[in-house]
Structure formats: C-alpha cells, structure tokens
Amino acid sequence: MRDGTLLAVLHAQPDTARKALALVKGTFEGTELDVDDVRIYQYLVDKAAPGQRVMISRGDIAVGEKRATTVVEGEYRNAYESHATLEPQTSVAKWADGRMTVWASTQAPFIFRDAVAEALKLAQDKVRIIAQFVGGGFGGKLVAPGAVEAARIARLVPGVPIQVAWNREEDLFLDGYRPAAVVKIRSGLDAGRGAITFWDSTVAGVSQGEAEFPYEMQATRYQAPAVPGLHPLKTGAWRAPNAHTNAFARESQLDALAAKAGIDPVTLRRRLATDPRVLRLLDLAVETFGWEPSPGPTGRGIGLACGAWRQALVVAIAQVAVDKTTGKVQVERFLEAVDVGLVVNPDGARQQVEGAITMCIGQALSEEIRFKGGQILDKNFDTYILPRFSAIPRIQVVFPENSTTITQGIGEPPVVPVAAALANAVFDATGARMTHVPFTPERVLEALKRVPTK
C-alpha cells in the first residue's frame, strides 16, 4: 500500500507484517554530507561563523581584559543525543465517517492534531487526538511523524484501525536529537578574585538561551549564529533546550577560573551571586551535603554547579570516583537543591528531580549518537548506552523552606547543572578537566594525559 512516498505493509498480525516488510527492498538517491560524529564540531563552528550575531552585550570587553589578572579560555562540546524513550513513537489511527481519530503517545495533542490535519488536508475539527500515557517524552514527542504515518495509511483503509509502532532502530534513526554544540568562552577575574571583569561567549549549534546566570560580571558578550539548516541531522527540544549546554560551559569555565585563582568553587560563586535565592540554595546544598570546600583538585571528587531554567534555580553537588586505569567515572552521590517556588506535592516533585538526575547521568557519561553522513550507527541500546542500575548513586533532593511564591514546573530545571557538576567533580578527583559531553572512558583517559605532572 502506497501513499506518495510512504510505503506500508499491512497485516492483522505484527510478526507477519514485519516479515513482509523485510522483503521490500528500498534504494535511496542523493548526496550525503561528508561529516561524522568526530568532525561535526569543526563543521558547526565553520558553518556558524558567517552568521554569528551578538545577542547580548554589556560593558567593554577590551577594558575588562585589561583589568583581569586571572584569564581562562575554554572550549566545551556536547554530542548529539537521542531522547531514547522506553516506548518508541507509537500511534493508532482510524478513518471513519469523514473524521480521523488518532490514539497517540504524545506530549502535545494540539500539535499532533494540526500536523495530521495538515498532512491529510482536513479541517482541524475533523481530527481528534486521544492522548495516551506518554512512555517517556522529554521533548521528543512534541512532534507527530509516527501519528501522521498512521493517519495517512488509515485513510486508505476506512474503518480499519491502523497501528504504527516504530522499532528501536527506527526510533533512533528518525529522532530529533539534542543538538550537538560548541561553546567557546574567554573570561577573567580581577586581582581581588571577587569580580569577573569580562565574559566573552560564542556558541555554535544552539542558541544562547539560559546562558546568563545571576553572577556579577563587569563586561559580557554573548554571540550565537543565525544560520538556517546549521545541523546535518534533525534536531529538536531535549529537556530544558539550550540551558544544559550553556550551563555546562558556564559552570565548567567558572570552576576553571576558581582553580586557577586558587580559591574554592563555592567561595567564588558566593562572591559573584547577585540573587539572594542563589545564596540560600548554595548554603542549603553545601550544608546538606556536609561539604567543606577547598581549592581543587583535592582528590575527594566533589563538584558543584548552578543552573537556571526560566525563573527556577538549581544547585547541584556531585561526588565521583574515577578509575584512572579504565577511565570509568562512577557517580557515588548526587544532591540537588531546587527552588521552583511553592512545592505542592513534595513526593512527586522529588521523584521528578530524581528522574532528571538519573537521565542526565546517562546524558553526561555515556549517551552519544554516532553517525557518518546520513547513516546513524547506533541502532539499539547495546551501543547507545543508557544508565544501568549500577550507575545510579545515592540521590538527595532538598527544597528551600523560604522559596519564592513564583511557582515553576519541575520537569526541566533539574537537568540543567548535572553534567557541569559531574565534570567539576572529575576535576576535583583527578585534575582532569572534562570539556566534552559525554565523558566516555576514552575521553577521560585522554583528559588524564593532559594533567600536568607535579
């Protein structure tokens, strides 16, 4: 059965349909970009360069550089990552009496309705979306390719419900990935080690959204590209879009400034924080963790990072052990202090934070889409590695009692500082600065080679 470029094999038994589909041989024509998961970062930088625009500018960067006595220049990268939901894209569609009904695993039923209506050239009131349990979304089920496929097939066989369920290989191949990105930052501290005299940030791959944080900075400049079609792969929203990329770069850079200036990372943040909420969260997190910060690296493997998602604030503290022989990072303990305003259901909120931390341990340590041209090399969870039970540490979640009255959603803020806290913990344990997410054992070993010998 064919609808334009969509070819479908139908059968009442899924196994029989799959066997029949395996007999269909497809050929593909067209050119592929000469880029892969290794060369993607230079590709993004080169393609973004002509379209870089200054998004935010305050003060004089040149003057700030002259005032600085401690200067750090860093480059931070993150790979493409899949949403990797436990349930792949799945929809059931039925065409009857001039109306299309779709049962879909969706985060956004109205977006799905509009997509189906547009694909079938129907009025919106002729399409009904019945939302099912999502089975994991994280931004990956804001769009409706699977539902549109089911609806297009269903209209060819009126009255017959049609289920389209992508297998894992299809789900990984057709996903809209978390964008790969490169963030370059040059920044400096004054002689008193209490003020950032300049902060110059340029990003390729994502926007500068959520890049700023309430730290005192005398001069700032944030640049991001305005380049259509920047990515060779399809990208999409992935829990707190842009924020985790920018927080990873910002909080790693701040930690590097503290280490070079010989002060501990908490003291530096306390000197720079301009929002009393941040100071309260820092105190709450450090006190609950029972940590007495010292200039790193200390060998204890404890790292801190701050994050924001809209008006929510998060402080994360991680403790890790690093096997210097294999490069494996084992997360032993993770704490987040989260201010999202009034928490109505503490147990539910705590579970959201615990789930976010668990997901982002995989995001930070193992998850990466490998590709060559238009070919996705990861086809299942044997190579696209989600965190196993053995990777999950003791997790603590605390909420301030005197939080603001501005209530925020809690699904996205907790993901923002996770990778940065883990990177800073690896530095504290080993002196190796992790600048490329995920921190695979191979990248950890390479970073260890760059640690100066005493």
Residues 227 and 322 in one domain: yes
Report the amino acid identity of residue 122.
L
106-118 in b/e form (b: 16+ CB < 10 A) is: bbbbebbbebbbe
Instruction: Give the residue among 219, 205, 227, 203 at the shortest CA–CA distance from 50.
Output: 227
131-153 in b/e form (b: 16+ CB < 10 A) is: eeeeebbbbbbebbbbbbbbbbb
Is position 49 within any domain?
no
Q: What is the CATH number of the domain that holds 146?
A: 3.30.365.10
Residues 123 and 229 in one domain: no
Residues 166 and 192 in one domain: no
Instruction: Give the residue among 306, 328, 300 at the shortest CA–CA distance from 428.
Output: 300
* Axis crossing angle, helix 418-430 with helix 243-261, rounded to the nearest 10: 30
Residues 327 and 228 in one domain: yes
Is position 280 within any domain?
yes
Residues 137 and 221 in one domain: no
pTM of the model: 0.95
Structure token pair of residue 56: 């935010």
Q: CA–CA separation, 386 vs 394, rounded Å?
A: 18
State yes or no: cis peptide before 297, omega within 30 of 0: yes
Q: In the listed set 174, 194, 217, which residue is the last one of a domain according to the structure? A: 174
Residues 136 and 252 in one domain: no
Tell me if residue 62 falls in helix, strand or coil. helix
Q: CA–CA separation, 356 vs 48, rounded Å?
A: 31
Residues 192 and 246 in one domain: yes
Is position 127 within any domain?
yes
Is position 52 within any domain?
no
Q: In the listed set 119, 142, 174, which residue is the last one of a domain according to the structure? A: 174
Residues 164 and 207 in one domain: no
Is position 100 within any domain?
yes
Cβ atoms of residues 238 and 163 within 8 Å: no
Q: What share of the chain is helix, strand, coil (3-state, %, to 5)?
A: 35, 25, 40
Is position 61 within any domain?
no
Q: In the listed set 174, 189, 216, which residue is the last one of a domain according to the structure? A: 174
Could you read off the pLDDT tens digit of each residue along the chain, which spans 454 residues?
889 889 999 999 999 999 999 999 888 888 888 999 999 999 999 999 999 999 999 999 999 999 999 999 999 999 999 999 999 999 999 999 999 999 999 999 999 999 999 999 999 999 999 999 888 999 999 999 999 999 999 999 999 999 999 999 999 999 999 999 999 999 999 998 888 999 999 999 999 988 999 999 999 999 999 898 999 999 999 999 999 999 999 999 999 999 999 999 999 999 999 999 999 999 999 999 999 999 989 999 999 999 999 999 999 999 999 999 999 999 999 999 999 998 989 999 999 999 999 999 999 999 999 999 999 999 999 999 999 999 999 999 999 987 566 788 999 999 999 999 999 999 999 999 999 999 999 999 999 999 988 6
Residues 402 and 288 in one domain: yes
Residues 153 and 286 in one domain: no
Is position 414 within any domain?
yes
Is position 274 within any domain?
yes
Number of structural domains (the chain) is 2
Residues 103 and 227 in one domain: no
Residues 220 and 125 in one domain: no
For residue 93, the enclosing domain spans 85-174
